Every structure is written in structure tokens, then in C-alpha cells.
Amino acid sequence: MSTISDSNAGLDFELNLAPIIDCLTVLITFTMISASFLSISVFDAGMAGPIDKADKTPPPPVNLSLELRSGGQFDIVVTGKENTTVKVAAINGERDYVGLAEHLKKLKAKWPTVQGVSVEADENVEYQFIVKAMDSARPSFPEVVLGGM
Amino acid sequence: MRGMQTMGSRNWFKKSRKAPSEDMALQITSMADIFTILLVFLLKSYAEGVVTISPSQGVTLPNAKGGDEMVQALRVEISPLAVQLEGVPVLTLKDFKLDAKQAKGNGVKELEKAFDMQRRRQNEIAKSNKDVKIEGKILVLADQKTPYTTLKTVLTAAALHGYTDFKLIVVKQE
């Protein structure tokens, strides 16, 4: 008459958590060592490729060139149907990225079909300033390329 | 009677008052829960990166708000002391700058030779494996203080060998 209680006793068992904790500790240690907490992304800055003869897209009305000067100034050189240079002066020795973005926005409103701008800099201008300038130009002109090559 | 009552209450008091246990039972169940949650979080962040890029020691990448997804391509790294192509140093620098001799002499030629070798290697692989396409993509991992003149020298050498699609690696700014 003890068969029912015997079968119930066979179904119950105590889970030994110690080896599971060991496995979890090793896995967590491994993933923490190999995990990268830096969010890295890619900024497309390719050179313009060769002109495809089959491409029937009309050339842009103006060519834009963004030049970073050593003193902190930006020069936006417009060539083509309009030839002009827009200067964005530095503020307290710091580059004015907000002013640059505003000027580029105005140019985009004037020339909506223009999609690209090439970025150049003086010899000693640091790479971080070039990237920031490209980042400021991207909302208005998505095709930002590195020029002067 | 009174004495017997006192004795009884003393015995009851002794029975109800247990000696404090010196062994503390560790709550392993809660620890297992915490470890499981931690592991799930770490596995999630581990699986997200398809291509992992680790800049060399001493290289600080610039910050940028925009950015696209990571791609697999030839990697060139510019640090204060060297230019590396696929992890192999090809040009020595002094505080990011080329020596005057290097700029005019063999220094840039070494760089061009390295790019040429990579291009030939890619062509050979593309010949033997039709699934591999010849691409002009190049990942640029440059320190944020790299002067434009050094960057221009390296990228011009790359462009001369067909690597014109520059992908600048940046740290995404939230």
C-alpha cells in the first residue's frame, strides 16, 4: 500500500545549484572580458567614383567645398552657377559648428538638388575637427566626401 | 505550588528560547537569478556586433553623432607612432608626422607597396573564388589628433590602388 508514496518520492529531487552557479560565473566572466561597451559606427566618406557613361543624372548646378582653416574658421566655397565663399568665423578660438550647420542649411534651401559636399582642411587641422565638420554637414548634404586627394 | 509553577515556566522559557544558529544559509536561488539576468544581458550585447573593431592602445577614435553599420573591409590604422595595414606596421611616424626623408623618399613607397600587395591579394582571391568581389572599401581607424596632412598621405596612397570608398571608424555619440 506504500506504492503511491514511493512513486511520489521518486519524482521529487533537490536541484543542486552549485554547479549551475559555477557555469554561470565562468560564462559571465568570459562575456564581460570579450564584450565591447564602445558603440563604434562607420562614417561614409568615400571619394567620388568614375563617372558612369550610362548615368543620365544631370550634374549639380553648384559644387560645394568645405575648407577647415588652421585658425578655426570654415570656408564654404561655392563654384558653378554661383561663385562665392561663405566664411564662418571661430567663436572665442573654437570652431562654430552650429553656425556652419546653419549656413549649410541656407545653401541647401537655395540649391535643393545638390546632395554632396567635399571636405578639405589645412595641413595641421586635427582629424577630430574634420569628422565633426562632416557630422555637421551631413543633415543638409548626405554625400560628404573627403577631398584634396 | 508556586515553586512548581516557577519551575514549569522556567522550562517553558528554556524550550522556547533556542540557541542562535551560527550557520547562515546562503540564498543560492537569488544568486542564480541575478547571474542568469546578467548573462542574458551580456550575451545580447555580445551578439549585436557582427564585426568587432578594436583600436590599438593609444589610439583614441573621434566622436560623431551620425554613423552607419559596420562593414568588413581592409583596415588601415593611424596611431602616433605608426601606420598599420591589417595589423602590420608599414610606416613609422613621429608624433603623427612623417619624417622629411620618408615623405619624399622610400617611406611613402613602402606604404604604396603594402596597398599594392593587398590589392593583388584581393585580385587573386577573386580569381579563385567567384563569390568574392573586388571592392574599394577601406576602414580608416585614425587617432583623433591625426593631422590632415598625414591622413591625406595615407588615403591618397590607398586611392591610387583602388581603395576609394573610405569608411571612417568613429565612436557613436549618444
In this prediction, residue B102 carries a pLDDT of: 65
| Chain A contact present for B62, CB below 8 A | yes
| Chain B contact present for A45, CB below 8 A | yes
Q: How many angstroms separate the CA of residue A25 from the nearest CA in chain B?
A: 7
| Chain A contact present for B72, CB below 8 A | no
A114 CA to centre of own chain = 21
Report which of A53, A135, A47 is spatially closest to residue B157, judged by C-alpha positions: A47
Pairs of CB atoms within 8 A across A/B = 144
Rounded to two decimals, the ipTM of the complex is 0.73
Tens-digit pLDDT profile for residues A84-113 = 999 999 998 899 999 999 999 999 999 999
**CA-CA distance, A135 to B168, in Å (whole number)?**
12
Q: Is B169 helix (H, G, I), strand (E, B) or coil?
A: strand
Q: Give me the phi and psi of A107, to 5 degrees please.
A: -65, -40
Q: With contact defined as beta carbons under 8 Å apart, do A67 and A147 qualify?
A: no
Tens-digit pLDDT profile for residues B56-69 = 778 899 988 877 77
| Chain B contact present for A3, CB below 8 A | no
Mean pLDDT of the residues in chain A:
84
Q: Give A45's contacts in chain B (Cβ within 8 Å).
A: 166-168
Whether the pLDDT of residue B12 is over 90: the answer is: no
Whether the pLDDT of residue B80 is over 70: the answer is: yes
Whether the pLDDT of residue A5 is over 60: the answer is: no
Cross-chain residue pair B45–A37, CB shorter than 8 Å: yes
In this prediction, residue A98 carries a pLDDT of: 93
In this prediction, residue A133 carries a pLDDT of: 94
At B139, is the pLDDT very low, low, confident or very high (cuts 50, 70, 90)?
very high
Tens-digit pLDDT profile for residues A12-32 = 777 788 888 898 899 889 888
Whether the pLDDT of residue B33 is over 80: the answer is: yes
| Chain B contact present for A94, CB below 8 A | no
Whether the pLDDT of residue B5 is over 60: the answer is: no
Q: How many angstroms separate the CA of residue A136 from the nearest CA in chain B?
A: 9
Tens-digit pLDDT profile for residues B39-56 = 888 887 766 555 567 777
Q: Give A128's contacts in chain B (Cβ within 8 Å).
A: 62-63, 144-145
DSSP classification of residue B129: -
The DSSP bridge partners found for residue B168 are A43, B140
| Chain A contact present for B71, CB below 8 A | yes
In this prediction, residue B41 carries a pLDDT of: 85
Dihedral angle of Cα B43, B44, B50, B56, to the nearest 10 degrees: -70
CA distances B103 to B33, B97, B152, B157, B164, Å, are: 60, 9, 12, 12, 21
Give pTM, 2 decimals: 0.74
At A48, is the pLDDT very low, low, confident or very high (cuts 50, 70, 90)?
low
Q: How many angstroms separate the CA of residue A60 from the nearest CA in chain B?
A: 21
In this prediction, residue A2 carries a pLDDT of: 47
